[in-house]
């Protein structure tokens, strides 16, 4: 008759055994904190207000040059987490580039999104393609793509960065490389990725995206907003989230980046998610 065995051992004897085990780099796992029945996040809900962060970004731009800082970013750390990430697998930054400045070219295995908050122009160069940045735009720099940022306007450009750095660190897959020049050289055109992959249901028949990442790196807000407004007027959307669109990789129909899903949502008057 098979059954669970029942053995009662004096506490002191057990404690001595456990202590002995630890000396051998072994843990008696049955006394560890019981596994929960559901995940419990250590991260806590938290709001960083723009009215607070913007002045800090401007102040940082006064005090620190892009010569001093590879990237001038304010990293938001979640009060519930150790380290400096906003969520368990994601880092969130406010980054600012002042008129006339560039942030030099590099690449890394963490993937990044940029959601433009403020600015009158400026651009990011991704693998040689010059991508304009307007408020509301989503700009991707997928893993291991060369990228530098520049501001050729007379107003600051400020955006939100999102990176999967904590996940990449856990997977011990973090690589980083400086570009040999300060910035990538630019050809005549701009935003070629949008011309080729940004039109719905069309792809350039003369090329096959080589990498594992999306060939589309720029999702202009004008397009996303038009799509949202049209749908908000005509369709109920999701019973849980209302009218919400996911940014996709047009070469696969899947998420914009494998490790970071990106969405844009409209809340109509009266909507309650």
> Rule CB under 8 A: which of 117-146 touch its own copies?
none
* 252 binds its own copies per the rule CB under 8 A: yes
Does residue 109 sit in helix, strand or coil? coil
**Residue-wise burial string across 215-235, b where 16 or more C-beta atoms lie within 10 A, e elsewhere:** bbbbbbbeebeeebeebbeee
Distance CA 167, CA 63 (A): 31
Q: Is residue 256 involved in binding its own copies (CB under 8 A)?
A: yes
- Minimum CB distance to its own copies, residue 154 (Å): 13
Q: Is 267 in the site for its own copies (CB under 8 A)?
A: no
Site residues for its own copies, 63-82, by CB under 8 A, read: 63-79
Q: Is 101 within 8 Å of 70 (Cβ atoms)?
A: no
Residue 266 found at the interface with its own copies (CB under 8 A): no
C-alpha pair distances (Å), 162 with each of 55, 76, 220: 20, 11, 17
Smallest separation, CB 269 to its own copies (Å): 19
| Sole binder of its own copies in the list 154, 211, 212, 235 (CB under 8 A) | 235
- For its own copies, the binding residues in 15-44 under the rule CB under 8 A are 17, 20-21, 24-30, 32, 35-39, 41
- Helix, strand or coil, per DSSP, at residue 117: strand
Residue 255 carries which DSSP code?
B
Tokens of 234: 């005509």
By CB under 8 A, tell whether 12 contacts its own copies: no
User: Counting contacts by CB under 8 A, is residue 204 touching its own copies?
Assistant: yes
Does 58 sit near its own copies (CB under 8 A)? Answer: no
Sites for its own copies among residues 157-186 (CB under 8 A): 166-167, 169-177, 182-183
């Amino acid at each position: 008759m098979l059954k669970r065995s029942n053995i009662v051992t004096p506490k002191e004897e057990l404690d001595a055994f456990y202590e002995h085990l630890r000396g051998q780099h072994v843990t008696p796992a049955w006394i560890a904190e019981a596994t929960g029945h559901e995940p419990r996040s250590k991260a806590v809900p938290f709001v960083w207000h723009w009215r607070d962060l913007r002045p800090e970004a401007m102040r940082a731009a006064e005090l620190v040059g892009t010569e001093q800082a590879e990237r001038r970013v304010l990293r938001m750390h979640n009060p519930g987490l150790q380290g400096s990430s906003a969520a368990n697998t994601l880092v969130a930054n406010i980054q600012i580039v002042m008129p006339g400045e560039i942030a030099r070219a590099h690449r890394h295995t963490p993937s990044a999104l940029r959601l433009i908050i403020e600015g009158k122009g400026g651009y990011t160069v991704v693998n040689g393609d010059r991508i304009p940045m307007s408020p509301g735009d989503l700009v991707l720099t997928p893993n291991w793509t060369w990228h530098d940022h520049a501001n050729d306007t007379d107003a600051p450009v400020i955006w939100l960065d999102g990176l999967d750095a904590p996940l990449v660190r856990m997977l011990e897959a973090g690589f980083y490389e400086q570009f040999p020049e300060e910035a990538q050289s630019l050809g005549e055109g701009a935003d070629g990725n949008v011309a080729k992959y940004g039109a719905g249901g069309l792809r350039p028949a003369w090329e096959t995206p080589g990498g594992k990442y999306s060939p589309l790196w720029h999702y202009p807000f004008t397009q996303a907003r038009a799509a949202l407004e049209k749908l908000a007027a005509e369709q109920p959307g999701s019973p849980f989230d209302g009218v919400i669109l996911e940014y996709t990789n047009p070469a696969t129909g899947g998420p914009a980046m494998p490790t970071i899903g990106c969405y844009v949502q409209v809340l109509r008057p009266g909507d309650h998610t």
